[in-house]
Structure 1
């Protein structure tokens, strides 16, 4: 269904006070068209459902076309390292389209989170040159030849505790997203950040049963020998560059949380569009059910939520792209709002499709499961609300300000 079926209200995304333009640029519009065309051409729902049921939802040919063919994997990588030298705004557009199609692809985990983590280390060499080991991984990621995943639970937020393994003993990390398709794992140990190949001896990736069948989770176990054989990219001391493993990881998680809002936006938009389409076509009492006032009110309310979610998601992407000092606040606001909107849109999609919306053959359940999974990914909605309160010096929801 085309976006022309629902007025998306882009004019609401211009910040009059700051002059920040959150409208889509011509480049972003062209990129959206290319990604949507690719996903539409490869959009085989029965095959996608079959792959999801099998526990191996990825379409490797599709990922190759997206990552290498279109060049989406290298959007955030500088041209000097083989990337496109684009910004978070362009990456956000890709994630919107992936969210619309609930595409099983490691774009968020590899091309955003892992890439941004590595970029935070890339200028830490002597004299400011790129660290060779980091540059090598970034070039492989930009070319779509390698998938890298940060070995942390999907629920880990930018400001939350960071689970680590012990360098001398190794350890296990649960609920790592897209680890089953990763070539390289970025493992945070107590003495630094390591790049470890998933095929290396001493590395085990055991699939878990996820709620969202399109974003598999796994338990990753890395022993001490595997860490020793890997490449230490950064040590555990604070600060930027090669001495800032934790800072780099948090940088990657912040970018991931901010752009996750765009995935949630795309999902919510598609759910609204499909709901509007269905209620136009479905008739009861010789009338389109979309003409019933109660359903009109529900869809109008959802449309307002989606418009607001677009403003929040675009603001977060723009703040990350420009390196704004308010980026942490913009990300927290986007995640505090967009997660709930995506879940609401998916719930309405299931309910307003009636009986067919409850069937396994209809894609509505994939949207609902992705929305529920995204709601707790990279920090829960509640944790982001508390972060907003902390950054703005306001009482957190449900808490009374001190007397």
Structure 2
């Protein structure tokens, strides 16, 4: 990684920043946000879609990937074009964004912490069934994620995440090849169709490819990488596209596994992350214990990478939130200057609010490992979580089409269309989520 001008750089024509040459060796933040977004829940929803409808909903996974590329690009463009953080942009839209985020980040973080620890502990418990129980592995996973983020800065976290991305990608693609996909049927799934009873699964595939709140963290990771001005725009776009194409391949591979291994044999999985343990049993019966172990290792990689990514990325968001609230209360409404440079120096990663939120994600949620999640808390978590992507798409449309963004970097027609389409799709998913909860 470097923040120096590359030889032969030129002005971007929109503020004088030197354009850095895009290079594959700089890729990183996109992989981090994509790996964080693809967790056990996405594995299960993709598998279930494949097991129930074969390849029919492949087109939905492709659309989901394209929409997420547009969302992440918009987040990164805001950070690089303005030199301001996303939460700083939200605050400029009114106090309502602060109220929403404050409620969201507290409730969501409490329930997600328990969920992430449990899903990371499940494959470990399946790998070592005679060892300590699931609660032990869940707590160990949470503490391990806390240690990884607490004692390291972004550069090290990125390397760890890239390792997990590599493991889960290789394992899932290997499984997709092993089950011998029906290639003609696979390509036929690119034609949009909606079989009876498939609407919820279709929306889940579109909304579940690559994250929710962690997409908002992309700009913070871009800044932490050292990309702090519009000269890095080309590199950010390459990074984002490579990451979500990789995610798309990963999702298609999981759909193939569901279609060939489960749909063809009419095998049903348990709802929730426990269904992945069931899949491990199916793989062991058909392909042997080695393949089953490899899958559980990939399952753990997907789950633990999501845990580490949230512990780091959402904590950055929370730390920025606290900075903005404090600044608003300061004399004359002063705010920290050049927040992007603060992130690049790693100051926010070692701040008290950053570490406090990591502890909030880790320690209080451990109580939910013993207690049934309260019904009201589950509903609030589900509704707030489903609302975040419409909120993100809507606020990005607002920020990137007004004078808050330099004219040269405002939305074009394609960006506006993709954000509107994404926002509408996510709103429909929100309505369906509320209906299912209530």
* Higher helix proportion: 2
| TM-score clears 0.5 | no
TM-score (norm. length: structure 1): 0.30
Higher relative contact order (CA 8 A, sep 6+): 2
